Chain A
Amino acid sequence: MSFSTILFQLGSGMLKSMGIFLWTIVLSLPLGLFVSFGRMSKNNTLRNIVKVYISIMRGTPLMLQLMIVYYSPFLLFGMNIKSFRFPAIIIGFAINYAAYFAEIFRSGIESMPVGQYEAARILGYGKKQTFIKIILPQVIKRILPSVTNEVITLVKDTSLAFSLAYMEMFSIAKQIVAKESTFMPFIVAAIFYYIFNFVVATFMEQIENKLSYYR
């Protein structure tokens, strides 16, 4: 197998890794925000359910969660799961990362001084307006460094999709290594992951810079 073929194959795997990454981000951030609301709810039952959910998501291996999400429709209901591979991966990643993001959102929201809510209330802002206009923008700025950490971890975690035999970059690299008995695809994959992360980190830095107009 020529070098360019390897590059091409790894490149197409990289696109799939990026697919997992983007879908996970797009789903888990808003989901995480809603989960954080549940986590801070005045309703005891809801709060405890969410607490358990978060603790399971954070306390068990993501790889295992992916497998459970993927196989349970078959094991529980005897459903055909052939075409369920990709959705299972996205669901697994999204609910896992939502749990981490929820804790980040919660810490950000809870760190907001009560004076901001009070000033908004005196000025007549409603609850929704207060959250969307006053609280959330400041929370986003505060939590951005922690979110960046998670996002960088996610880039690397996409390789866990190999456990469901999904042909993203890491699976392909492993396959070529086994077939061609050369170590080189791993090196190339490592470089690709690094570049991927570099781009992501740069992007996050841009957002941080954009939000640095105030303190």
Chain B
Amino acid sequence: MKILEMNHINKKFGDLEVIKDISLSVSEGEILSIIGPSGSGKSTILRCATMLESINGGEIIYMGQKAAYTDNNKNVIYAKGKEAKYINSKFGLVFQNFNLFPHYSVIKNITDAPIHVQKRNKKEVFEQAKALLEKVGLTDKADYYPFQLSGGQQQRVSIARALCMNPKILFFDEPTSALDPELTIEILKVIRALAKEHMTMVIVTHEMNFAKEVSNRIIFMEKGVIVEEMTPDEMFSSNNERTKTFLGRYHNMA
């Protein structure tokens, strides 16, 4: 089953066309990585998928339900009310800079929305939160506040927070790029574990080797378009000049 379909997405900031007619889809259990140079529109496409930015054209479909579509007059119509809420509950997003709530403890960061937004049973939510904290290796940090944690720990909390909402798909926008290399490893470990459980994920990353290792499919983006879509095996043997240049540059840097 397709969890997410994005068809012919266009996104402009003023006159600047940032996403140009991009289409992509993600099936259940699939892990899609998006790579590409800075400014190519990777964050923007994730922000469009998660409705943080509104699109200027195209359609976004979650599990067969239209979250947004373009009508005959080229107006983009977004789902509203209950329908929008339902669609919203299907995805989670892990930010580059975590965006934890600083005035909430770790456990409250994770449990507050499931309890007060999803109106779920408190006890059940706390049990799930504890299990998630164990999964990300932070069992002993439940009562800490974000400022008392390292960047890597904060990012793991934010992953647990996203997971506690039971999303069908989880988006990551460069989850490690604000972190030191040692801390990056912690995060990649968590994502790897999620991959083993067949969590559906879309990951924007600069970690090429990680992308190759963990994903089923890789999209190379440049200047707002998808240059190439490939399997991990094809990645480093691509014949596409632009892909080669980009990866070559990355190899020289690494």
Contact = CB atoms under 8 A, between A and B. Distances in A.
Given A134-B101, A214-B103, A124 B95 contact: no
Interface in A121-143: 121-125, 129, 133-134, 137-138, 141
Contacts of A120: 101
Contact of B103 (A119, A121, A125, A138): A138
Interface in A91-142: 113, 115-116, 118-125, 129, 133-134, 137-138, 141
A189 B88 CA distance: 61
A122 B103 contact: no
A126 to B, nearest CB: 8
A213 interface: yes
Interface string B19-62: 00000000000000000000000000000001110000000000
Given A116-B101, A214-B103, A123 B95 contact: no
Nearest to B92: A122
Contact of A125 (B50, B52, B113): B113
B93 interface: yes
B95 A121 contact: no
A118 B113 contact: no
A124 B112 contact: no
B102 interface: yes
Contacts of A119: 95, 99-101
Interface residues of A, number: 20
A142 to B, nearest CB: 11
A82 interface: no
Q: What DSSP secondary structure best describes chain A's contact surface?
A: helix
Contacts of A129: 116-117
Contact of A124 (B103, B118, B145): B118
Nearest to B93: A122
Contacts of A115: 95, 97, 99
A214 B147 contact: yes
B242 interface: no
A215 interface: yes
Given A118-B52, A124-B85, A214 B102 contact: yes
Interface of B: 50-52, 85, 88-89, 91-93, 95, 97, 99-103, 112-113, 116-118, 145-147, 161-162, 165
